[in-house]
Amino acid sequence: MKKAQLHGITRVLLLIGGIVLLGALFLPIWRIELDAPQYPEGLKLLIFANRLAGDVEIINGLNHYIGMRTLHSDAFIEFKILPVIIFCFSALTLLASIVGRRKFLYKVCILFLLFGIVSMIDFWKWEYDYGHNLNPDAAIKVPGMAYQPPLIGFKQLLNFGAYSMLDAGGWIFAAVGVLLVGASFWEYRKAKLSLMLAFVFPLFFLSSCGQGPSAIKPGTDHCDFCKMTISDARFAGELVTQKGRVYKFDDLHCLLAYLKATPTENGKYYVSDYEQPFTLQPADKMIFVESAELKGPMGGQTAAFSDKEATAKYNGKTLTWKEILP
């Protein structure tokens, strides 16, 4: 009986994917950026398949004061085996194109996804170990403080803001993973869709993390512009940057003032529904009312509503998000 063959387009795409994957041997796979007032240009740690690069020595000097172990490429066994694994997956992807058998493609796809999951778990354990196992004789000791960077996204560590994200080599990995899953789905189109979703989910998990608004906690959260404690959730707003960092504001007045002060900051804007104060909605979907009857905590007189009928309760001017942007 003739074995199931891959479609010609699938074989060409696999051939391209196998070649492109070799680029991950030469490009940084992951990066961790550190922002602080004393380092206006920021510090970065670049993680290649076989080494660390970037501002490693400066970061090691800072880590020494808080008791973290210094970072050295030769201390990680992963840097010895990862290049081999990348080369093997490149060869397997090329072989899947040459052999042209569906079952072989499915096996390569499953192995690739399992490798991705194991890699993320190993990376998280590495970050946990370095962030928690501190030298008790360190010059700077903060009781209960750990310095584990985020797996992906943003995290505040004392006066440093830490960003963790894919770099060029990592995006190549992700693209080849999507290619393998997409090719497998295309070739297995007559099978149950639910079986393939189990393969797709790990690939899109990273891109779905930390992109939405964070819940406002009155009495606990502070405004990132005026530094006052957020007291009235009805007027609150948020900016979620492209890197996933969340800036919270106690009043639309503060949010707009922040945008004027930092016009280059890009991201998604969310505002609280005045009628449902703990519900943050995309700002461009809301209706804004400017009225003397609306008294915000910082002197603002503008509130957002998701229900157009609710705005009739207040005597004022109705605006859109575009009309009130600075």
Task: Tell me the average pLDDT across 75-94.
Answer: 93
Mean pLDDT of the chain: 84
At residue 168, the pLDDT reads 94
Share of the chain above pLDDT 90, in %: 31
Task: Tell me the average pLDDT across 169-195.
Answer: 81
What's the burial of 225, exposed, middle or buried (CB within 10 Å: 0-12/13-18/19+)?
Answer: buried
Per residue in 124-167, pLDDT (tens digit) is 998 888 888 888 877 777 777 778 888 888 888 877 888 889 99
User: Which stretches within 155-302 are classed as H helix?
Assistant: 168-187, 193-208, 252-261
- Look at residue 191 and tell me whether its pLDDT is greater than 70: no
Q: What is the 3-state secondary structure (H, E, C) of 119-136?
A: HHHHHHHHHHHHHHCCCC
Q: Does CATH number 1.10.10 belong to domain 8-208?
A: no
- Look at residue 265 and tell me whether its pLDDT is greater than 70: no
Among residues 37, 179, 192, the alpha carbon closest in space to that of 94 is found at 179
The segment(s) of the chain belonging to CATH 1.20.140 are: 8-208
At residue 172, the pLDDT reads 94
Among residues 269, 113, 287, 92, the alpha carbon closest in space to that of 185 is found at 113
From CA 26, how far away is CA 86, in angstroms rounded?
11
From CA 309, how far away is CA 8, in angstroms rounded?
57
Q: Are 104 and 96 in contact (CB under 8 A)?
A: yes
Q: Is 64 helix (H, G, I), strand (E, B) or coil?
A: helix
Q: Are 249 and 265 in contact (CB under 8 A)?
A: no
